[in-house]
Amino acid sequence: MAVMNPGPIAYFEGAYVPAEEAKISVMTHAFNYGTGIFEGIRGYYSAEDDNVFVFRLTEHVDRMMRNSSVMCMEIPEDRAAIETICLELIRRSGFKEGVYLRPIIYKSDLSLGPTVKGVTSKLCCYLIKLGEYCDITSGLNVAVTSWRRLSDNAIPTRLKSTGSYINSSLAASEAKMAGFDEAVFLREDGSVAEGSAMNLFIVHQGQLVTTPVSSDILVGITRNTILQLAREQLHLDVVERPIARTELYVCDEMFFTGTGAQVAPVRSVDRRVIGEGRPGPITLKMQSLYFDVVQGKVPEYRHWCTPAY
């Protein structure tokens, strides 16, 4: 195994190459029609183990393969092969720090027309270094966006498709142009969905509340992790139910979850300060526990951490 020069590295057309060499044609179906399914996967460096632990790799790959069936995608690589590719990218990079993997299954034909049936699919994946994606210490100032979350009957958010992220881009851009850190989506019925690219939790009168998977959200792996840890380790009263917009203004705590966001506290919504205006006690406990888990420090969940080396 050759260690490549430090920098972004990719698996493309069956080979490991520098990311800048992984190129597609301007005619590629996925480039023209957004017909790609992807995952975002983090690897955490543990100084104690001198290893990079890829967090919930199997679950991420399984979700991508399940979602790809909606897009009529078939590729020669199976789940085990994709996991091996992800780990091999880390090994070839030689990175001993936080990393981010993005496997993508995409429609690779050079053809016109948006249909997906009968169009060839391929797998690629790239690896980059990644530290903090957003502020996870002082709290984010967020705004409810005027853009609505896509309906599952239009472009399913659960698919994590490349084309659907224009919805997230518009919302996040609107929020940032108005001076906020992040956006919150409402659904067409006015209830809360999630952040622009992350799930949402609130703490309200002692309960940890999040929107259900039927509310046009990504069925987040970090979300599922937080739900399990909250019940099993923190023994919280956890509720999955619709959340009204004004509940965001009157809740005691709020935070986002996601592979990129991890556990990111929210300080204010639409310029209304949440709680004491700083990360609350449950958020901080959840955050601390989460970071212990992803670095392999909690024996009960060590099986979620796949060593790269």
Q: What is the average pLDDT across 252-261?
A: 98
- CA 157, chain centre distance (Å): 12
Quote the DSSP letter at residue 233: T
pLDDT bucket at 147, cuts 50 / 70 / 90: very high
Quote the DSSP letter at residue 56: T
pLDDT bucket at 286, cuts 50 / 70 / 90: very high
* pLDDT value of position 25: 98
Q: What is the average pLDDT across 116-128?
A: 98
Enzyme catalytic residues: 160
The rounded distance, in Å, linking the Cα atoms of 294 and 286 is: 12
CB 142 within 8 A of CB 182: yes
Using one digit for the tens of pLDDT, what is the confidence trace for 23-71? 999 999 999 999 999 999 999 999 999 999 999 999 999 999 999 999 9
Using CA atoms of 260, 266, 272, 277 in order, give the dihedral in degrees to the nearest 10: -150
For 101, the 3-state DSSP assignment is strand
For 81, the 3-state DSSP assignment is helix
CATH of domain 140-294: 3.20.10.10
CB 143 within 8 A of CB 245: no
Q: Where are the domains of the chain?
A: 9-129, 140-294
pLDDT bucket at 132, cuts 50 / 70 / 90: confident
Task: Determine the length of the chain.
Answer: 309
Using one digit for the tens of pLDDT, what is the confidence trace for 86-116? 999 999 999 999 999 999 999 999 999 999 9
For 239, the 3-state DSSP assignment is strand
pTM, two decimal places: 0.95
CB 194 within 8 A of CB 149: yes
Token pair recorded at residue 283: 């958020």
- Give DSSP secondary structure letters for 129-184: E---SS--SS-EEEEEEEEEPPPTTTS-GGG-BTTTHHHHHHHHHHHHHTT-SEEE
In the chain, what percentage of residues exceed pLDDT 70? 98
pLDDT bucket at 131, cuts 50 / 70 / 90: confident
* pLDDT value of position 5: 54
Question: Phi, psi at residue 98, to the nearest 5°?
Answer: -65, 135
* pLDDT value of position 149: 98
Quote the DSSP letter at residue 113: S
Residue 148 has pLDDT above 60, yes or no: yes
* pLDDT value of position 303: 98
**Per CATH, which fold does 9-129 belong to?**
D-amino Acid Aminotransferase; Chain A, domain 1 (3.30.470)
* pLDDT value of position 7: 74
* pLDDT value of position 125: 99
In angstroms, the Cα distances linking 245 to 23, 119, 187, 252, 269 are: 43, 41, 10, 14, 10
CB 127 within 8 A of CB 89: yes
